[in-house]
Amino acid sequence: MKVIGFICEHAGLPAAVLAGERGMQYSPDVLLVRLPCSGRVDVVHLLRAFRDGADAVFLAACLEKNCHHLYGNLEARKRVEQAKRILDDLGLDGRRVELFNLASNQAFKFRDAAEEMVRRVEQIGPNPLGVKK
């Protein structure tokens, strides 16, 4: 299983680091990609991750109305909704991609987000585009 977490520099990253400092356990299949802002994410990044074989992709962004770059997280929300629709159309299941709003000190929310995506993959099954091992 491979889960990609895009983390914004102002909420997702500090929350992930804090989760690390506190030793909060989550699946080692979750790998994090740092972004300057969740608004940096392009629907292409999300879809290419699935083409490469990721089983799920999530974004950890600032709380709404609290984005460091004012509305980057709202832009990201639109991208994620768009990706969900495309995944549904492709029959890959839109639940494989999700956006989570959290604050920089909410390490537990980050851990929950990571675990939630792992649970969803267990439910939905692996990405059919994934590389056969």
Partner 1 sequence: MSARGRMGVVICAWAGGSPGKLGVHSLAEQARTLDQVGPVEIIDRICSPVGQEKLGALFRSGEADRFVIVACSAFSKETLFRELARASGINPYMVELADVREQSAYVHDPQKALEKAHLIMEMAVARSRLAQEAPVQVRQSRSKRALIIGDGACALIAAKHLREQGIEVALVTEGSGFRIPDRLAKQREAFERDIDLLSHDPGFVIHAQSRVIHLAGRLGDFSMSMSSGQSTQVVTCGAIVLACEALEGDSQTGPPGDVSELESVLAGKGVLPESIVVLAEAGQEWGADAGAFVRGMRAAMNFKMKRPKAKAYVISRDIVSPGKWESEQRMAQDLGIIFFRSNERPKMVDAKHWALKDQTLGDIVIEAEAAYTTRHPKYDPEGIARVLGVPVGPDGTPVTLEPRLRPEETMRRGIFLCSSSFEPSPMETIFTDALSVTSRVAEALLGHELLGGVVTRVDQEKCSACLTCVRSCPYSAPFIGDKGKAEIPIEDCQGCGICVSLCPSKAIDLYHYGDSQIGASVRVAVRGGAQ
How far apart CA 87 and CA 94 sit, in angstroms, is: 5
Considering the rule CB under 8 A, would residue 19 count as an interface residue with partner 1? yes
* Chosen residue from 21, 91, 123, 125 binding partner 1 by CB under 8 A: 21
State the alpha helices, DSSP H only, in the chain.
Answer: 12-21, 43-52, 72-90, 107-124
- Pick from 17, 63, 86, 124: which binds partner 1 (CB under 8 A)? 17
Cα angle value 97/98/104 (rounded, 5°): 135
Quote the CA–CA distance of 61 and 28 in Å, as a whole number. 21
Piece of 29-37, 82-90, 94-102, 117-125 that binds partner 1 (CB under 8 A): 29-37
Binding footprint of partner 1 on the chain (CB under 8 A): 2, 4, 10, 13-14, 16-17, 19-21, 23-26, 28, 31-37, 39-42, 44-45, 48-49, 52-54, 68-72, 75, 79, 104-105, 131
